[in-house]
Chain A
Amino acid sequence: MERTQEDVSLDAKDIYKHFGGVRALHGTSLVVKKNKIISLIGPNGSGKTTLFNVVTCWLKKTNPQEKKDETDENQKNKFLMWLTQKFERKEKVEEIDVGHVLFEDKRIDGLSTHEAALTGMLRTFQTTRNWPKLTVLENLLVAPYKQTGESFLNIFFRGKKIKEEERRNTLKALQILEFLEITHIRDQLGEELSGGQLKLLAIGRLLISSPRLILLDEPMAGVNPTLGNKIMDKIVELKKDSTIFLIEHNMDVVFNYSDEIFVMARGKIIASGTPNEIQENKKVIEAYLGADY
């Protein structure tokens, strides 16, 4: 099986996510290999961000079994059936667990959002978020995992250890600022930054926790091409320590930098492969430009 492979970072299998009648994800499966740049492309509304949200536990995946019941004609009798089940003490039909999300062989679906983030898998958002009233340096310093100074009692009793840790984190934050070439905005507040700087800051915020899997939701959106290429160059440098999984609409970037590309349409992965394979895939062209093209 795939899960025994050591070079797999993220393994998502049979993911369903329905919003009422809308089937955002319908049996999506994909395997992300370690230390690669993996891109996820697809038309608008194909479920890319939803997949990210499910994988990072911002949304709970739906169980398709339940949905089938609801669309069943017997839906009206559902309550009756439930009652009879209760009273006759029938063995409850065991819920079939459909699909899973594995991160480095550990099951993460079902974790709460912050627990999922603590496993070493961090994400950015499509609309860049930051803390406007904190300085750029502080924006980075908030992020590291499980700081001593974040536990309420520690702030009164473990001042020394906190100071040491703060020093270490500050050094690391400065290194990251240097790496991203944004040291000059170190002392500015989050609200004073430009869009491109915010994108870089969002990436920096992830890096300070040294995540093993980085999910980037449209890192290039609204960024001028020069800066976009710079961001991509930085991302390529990250490849040696972590896996990068990104959603992107800029095809030049996707085809130039990715090691593997997944194409999504209507909640399913319709194609996957190297950039060259994808470029020649008819299904992909269909999904993007319509069947008649």
Chain B
Amino acid sequence: MKNKINKFVNRIKGHTELILGLSLALPIILLYLFGLMVTPRKTYMVISTSLVILVFFVGAISLDLEVGSVGLPNFGKVAFFAIGAYTSTLLYNYFGVPFPVAVVIALIVSSGFGYLISIPAVKLRADYFAIMTIAGGEVIRLILQYEQRWLWDPTTNTQTIANLFTARVSTSHPFNKYLSDFGITIFKDLGLGTIFIWELTLLIVFIIISILVYLFVQQIRKSPYGRTLRAIREDDITVTSVGKDVGKFRWQVTTVSAFIAGIAGVMYATLFNSLDATNFTPGLTFQLYYLIIIGGLGNSKGAFAGTTLVTLFLRGTAVREVQNTIKFSLDSDTPIIGSILQILQLELDVNPFNLRFVILGSMLIAFLLFKPAGLIPEPRIDNEKYLKLLTPEERLRSDEAVGVRQSLTEKERIEVEKTEESVL
């Protein structure tokens, strides 16, 4: 019996990551599926969830490039979201710039700001860098809150700008049709709800953008450049001592990740009918942080896993039917604490939606305590990709040398050294 248990434990040990991932993912997926079953607008829910996942995935990659790869804790990421979103929307709405051009300008402005912030910031230590970026992010948000008054129309007092691009696209010709109008009626027949063509187009565009961004960052990560970035994250003094300009690497990464955050910002903006500075509070930055911490720092797959899980959870809890079904009320009828609640005149509904940040927070703490590497940890680097470059003979020679020393136990090694000494 004992043997069997031991065997079982040993078998589990090899798959702790998988088990942990499943134990976390299963309840969340079940919750989401439950939400999907009870909501009447099933296809809408799936599409909007996917869109949000993709937006936050791009944002998380941008943050992960800074935090995970170089070790610059940027707490002002939301500012670049906001710059991307506002620049593209304002240019389109008020200056009649074609949307693609507006996006390009927005990305340039966003990376420009990234560069500007990096000039003083890269010289700071990580903790001061965090403080500076959080302050910078807030400054930009407060400027954008009254951007019309600041920038060109002192008389207005509006804080909200309409997102004309999304509005126009969703009402213009081929995009305002349903998928069923084109003969694909399977979703409608199954009673899953209707799909707009523009929703589908947006989804496809988002998927393409995410894949491109993913490949871009992957290219950086696996190049010698990415290797030096990792070295800087570990110890920047040694990197300087072998003749590398650490500041240069830092500003380049800050700029590139601001560029990617700008893309995420533009994507984020298209999800809304109107933009408001309250969409860009520091909370968004922190949301990105728990995406990458839960998912795993330093690799894009982790960012995707984290984003998917957290977004599924948030979306699942947001369904009204879920809120009404999975709940219990705390009021004066509750045993034991009922009288206290009566005195306080409190009536609490406990459901996943109200508890979502409590649950996410506990998840975050649990991860930081027990699994700081995250759901999908940064892959352990092996030398395979370098050794692959060598000819077989060259490789064999080195591999043999590795093998010889590894096959000796410590005791044998000491003996060998002793005999060597006695010969001398």
Q: Could you list which residues of chain A lie within 8 angstroms of chain B, going by C-beta atoms? A: 56, 112-115, 117-118, 122-125, 129-135, 137-138, 141-143, 145-152, 155-156, 162-163, 166-167, 170-171, 174, 177-178, 183-184, 186-187, 189-190, 205-206, 209, 226
Shortest beta-carbon contacts, A-B, top 9: A184-B405, A149-B224, A117-B243, A183-B401, A155-B223, A131-B234, A167-B389, A118-B243, A143-B242
CA gap between A226 and B421 in the complex, in Å: 10
Contact B386 A141, beta carbon cutoff 8 Å: yes
Additional pairs, 11, CB under 8 Å, beyond known A148-B224, A166-B386, A167-B389: A118-B243, A129-B235, A129-B237, A135-B381, A141-B224, A141-B386, A142-B227, A150-B244, A156-B219, A177-B398, A183-B402
Cβ distance A267 to chain B, nearest Cβ, rounded Å: 24
**Residue among B238, B239, B387, B417 having the largest count of chain A Cβ atoms under 10 Å:** B238
Which residues does chain B contribute within 8 Å of A187, judged by CB atoms? 382-383, 402
From the candidates A132, A138, A145, A171, name the one contacting B394 in the complex (CB within 8 A): A171
- Interchain Cβ contacts under 8 Å between A and B, 26 examples: A114-B245, A117-B242, A122-B242, A124-B241, A125-B238, A130-B234, A131-B230, A131-B231, A134-B227, A138-B386, A142-B231, A143-B242, A145-B242, A150-B244, A151-B225, A152-B225, A155-B223, A162-B223, A170-B390, A171-B394, A174-B398, A177-B398, A178-B398, A184-B402, A189-B380, A190-B234
- The residue of chain A having its C-beta at the shortest distance from the C-beta of B401 within the complex is A183
B383 touches A137 (CB 8 A): yes
Give the one of A112, A114, A205 with max B CB within 10 A: A114
The reply to whether A142 and B383 form a contact with Cβ atoms under 8 Å apart is no
Partner of B405, one of A122, A174, A183: A183
What residues of chain A lie closer than 8 Å to B224, measured between beta carbons?
Answer: 141-142, 147-150, 155, 162, 166
Write out the residue numbers on chain B whose beta carbons fall within 8 Å of the beta carbon of A162.
223-224
Q: Please measure, in the bound complex, the distance between the C-alpha atom of A21 and the C-alpha atom of B378, giving whole angstroms.
A: 48
| B242-A209 in contact (CB<8A) | yes
Assess A123 versus B241: contact at CB under 8 Å? Given A141-B224, A170-B389.
yes
Contact (Cβ within 8 A) B243 A137? no
Q: Which of A113, A122, A145 has the most CB of B within 10 A?
A: A113
* B207 close to A (CB within 8 Å): no
CA distance A189 to B401 in the complex (A): 17
Interface string of B239-268 (1 = CB under 8 A from A): 111111110000010001000000000000
Whether A184 lies near B234 (C-beta < 8 A) is no
B6 at the interface (CB under 8 A from A): no
**Nearest A residue to B389 by beta-carbon distance?**
A167
B404 at interface (Cβ–Cβ under 8 A)?
Answer: yes
**Cα distance A5–B169 when bound, in Å?**
76
B379 → chain A, closest Cβ, in Å?
A: 11
Asked if B228 is at the interface of the complex by the 8 Å CB criterion, the answer is yes
Contact A150:B241 (CB < 8 A) given known A155-B219, A171-B394: no
User: Across the interface, do A149 and B242 meet the contact criterion of CB distance under 8 Å?
Assistant: no
The smallest C-beta distance from B133 to any residue of chain A, in angstroms, reads: 21
Whether the pair A170, B244 counts as a contact (CB closer than 8 A) is no
Cβ–Cβ contact A114 & B240, under 8 A: yes
- Report if B220 contacts A (CB, 8 A): yes
Q: Binary interface profile of B, 406-418, with partner A (CB < 8 Å = 1, else 0)?
A: 1000000000010
Secondary structure call for the A interface:
helix
Which of B219, B227, B230, B243 touches A114 (beta carbons < 8 Å)?
Answer: B243
Query: In the complex, what's the smallest C-beta–C-beta distance from B255 to chain A, in angstroms?
Result: 9
Q: Measured between alpha carbons, how far is A130 from B230 in the docked complex, in Å?
A: 12
Which residues of B line the A interface, CB within 8 A? Answer: 219-220, 223-225, 227-228, 230-231, 234-235, 237-246, 252, 256, 378, 380-383, 386-387, 389-390, 394, 398, 401-402, 404-406, 417
CB distance from B288 to the nearest CB of A (A): 23
Secondary structure type dominating chain B contacts:
helix
User: Which of A113, A135, A178 contacts B382 (CB under 8 A)?
Assistant: A135
> What is the distance, in angstroms, from A172's C-beta to the closest C-beta of chain B?
11
Name the residue of chain A whose CB is nearest to the CB of B387. Answer: A170
CB-CB nearest in chain A for B398: A174
Contacts of B417 in A (CB 8 A): 226
Q: In the complex, how many angstroms separate the beta carbon of A12 from the nearest chain B beta carbon?
A: 19
Contacts of B402 in A (CB 8 A): 183-184, 186-187
On whether A134 and B240 interact (CB within 8 A), knowing A149-B225, A150-B225, A156-B219, the answer reads no
CA distance A137 to B398 in the complex (A): 11
Residue of A at shortest CB range from B384?
Answer: A187
**B387 cross-chain contacts in A, Cβ below 8 A:** 170
Closest B residue, CB atoms, query A118: B243
Give B187 Cβ to nearest chain A Cβ, in Å. Answer: 40
- Measured in the bound complex, the distance between the Cα atoms of B223 and A148 in whole Å is 10
The residue on A at minimum CB distance from B256 is A152
* Contact A134 B234, beta carbon cutoff 8 Å: yes
Q: Are A130 and B228 in contact (CB under 8 A)?
A: no
With A133-B234, A134-B230, A142-B228: A170-B243 Cβ-Cβ less than 8 Å: no
Given contacts A149-B223, A184-B401, A186-B402, contact A113 B234 (CB under 8 A): no
Residue among B220, B240, B378, B389 making CB contact with A163, cutoff 8 Å: B389
Question: Are A142 and B390 closer than 8 Å at their CB atoms?
Answer: no
Which residue of chain A has its CB nearest to the CB of B394? A171
A122 touches B243 (CB 8 A): yes
Measured CA separation A166–B226 after assembly (Å): 13
B242 and A206 contacting across the interface, CB-CB below 8 Å: yes
Chain A residue at minimal CB-CB distance from B400? A183
Known contacts A122-B241, A150-B224; decide if A184 and B230 are in contact (CB<8 Å): no
* Contacting pair A171 B390 (CB below 8 A): yes
Q: Is the CB of B390 within 8 A of A138?
A: no
Contact A155 B220, CB 8 Å, known A117-B241, A166-B389, A187-B402: yes
| Cα distance A94–B394 in the bound complex, in angstroms | 60
Distance between Cα atoms of A118 and B242 in the complex (Å) = 8
- Which residues on the B side are within 8 Å of A143 (C-beta)? 242
Q: Is the CB–CB distance between B227 and A184 below 8 Å?
A: no
Residues from chain B with a CB closer than 8 A to the CB of A122 are 241-243
| Residues of chain B with a CB closer than 8 A to A177's CB | 398
A252 to B354, CA, bound (A): 72
Is there an interface contact between B244 and A114, defined as CB atoms closer than 8 Å?
Answer: yes
Interface centre among B231, B242, B394, B417 (most CB of A within 10 A): B242
